Amino acid sequence: MFSGLVELSERATEQNPEPAKIPLRAGAQASVDAETGRIGLAEPLDHAHVFARDLADVRYRPRIEGRAEYLRQTPASLAMGQLIDDKLMRVVRERTGVVLSREIDAALTRPGRYTGAGLRNKAEPVAAGLRVDSFLVHFDPGTTPDARADDVPTATATLTFSRPVVAVIVDGNLLYETDAVCALPLLDLPLRSDFKNLADHYNAGNGRGIEVSNADDAIEISEDRTRVTLTLAASMIDQVRVLIEPAD
């Protein structure tokens, strides 16, 4: 509970016809005697910042359906091979209320389903100066780029946000360019050098984003722009950045 009042009451019995009642506000806690069932106030919680973080999560985090997990605690690293799972995408809330310092050359901004080459040639510029909240979607199944197509793990999930989506960034180079504004400062992310020996598979740095050559990859933005459905088939690692309108 983040605000308001909850009344905690003992159970009424013949021996206790007028049970005690304790009002609890945010940050308060009560104790219950296991033998008697009596209740009493306990010491207030020391870590108020825990409530602040949880409240922010309630305000900002998307509702998720499908094979994805929202990480309430920021992981130590989302670099190559550091958070491997061949079944679940991970969703991380990045910075909030940031201003785009430069134009994003190409991102998905309109409702619709995008696959293959459409992930690139239907992308549009996003103007500098917009305020946004940022989320990063991460899928690293631990496979290698030479894996057979039928061995490439695939995950699908829908993220529903409380505010409209401004842009979905799927290009690896643009992920690097927007890291300075959107990424969490202490979170390790994939390096361009991770892909330097993979010229046959990727163009300079694009291995971090979605490969347009993979027909199984797809992004769909709902008509009201509050839902993004991602289907990611990652031969190495896929990351997608979703920018939404700010909360404040």
State whether 110 and 215 are in the same domain. yes
Res 34: pLDDT: 72
State whether 126 and 36 are in the same domain. no
The CA–CA distances, whole Å, from 199 to 140, 152, 202 equal: 19, 19, 5
State whether 10 and 101 are in the same domain. no
State whether 131 and 73 are in the same domain. yes
- Tell me if 180 is assigned to some domain: yes
State whether 196 and 237 are in the same domain. yes
State whether 169 and 202 are in the same domain. yes
The CA–CA distances, whole Å, from 177 to 82, 128, 182 equal: 22, 13, 9
State whether 13 and 88 are in the same domain. no
- Tell me if 205 is assigned to some domain: yes
Res 21: pLDDT: 79
The CA–CA distances, whole Å, from 165 to 67, 106, 180, 199, 200 equal: 20, 15, 20, 33, 34
State whether 116 and 237 are in the same domain. yes
Q: How many domains does the chain have?
A: 2
- Tell me if 87 is assigned to some domain: yes
State whether 107 and 210 are in the same domain. yes
- Tell me if 49 is assigned to some domain: no
- Tell me if 210 is assigned to some domain: yes
- Tell me if 12 is assigned to some domain: yes
Residues 66 and 47: their CA atoms lie apart, in Å, by 33
Res 6: pLDDT: 80
Residues 232 and 234: their CA atoms lie apart, in Å, by 6
Do the Cβ atoms of 188 and 138 come closer than 8 Å? no
State whether 135 and 182 are in the same domain. yes
- Tell me if 95 is assigned to some domain: yes
Report the predicted TM-score, pTM, of the whole model to 2 decimal places.
0.75
State whether 27 and 69 are in the same domain. no
State whether 33 and 69 are in the same domain. no
Low pLDDT (below 50) residues in the chain: 49, 199-205
Residues 214 and 94: their CA atoms lie apart, in Å, by 27
Domain enclosing residue 223, as ranges? 62-244
- Tell me if 118 is assigned to some domain: yes
Res 155: pLDDT: 95
Residues 71 and 120: their CA atoms lie apart, in Å, by 28
Residues 239 and 194: their CA atoms lie apart, in Å, by 14
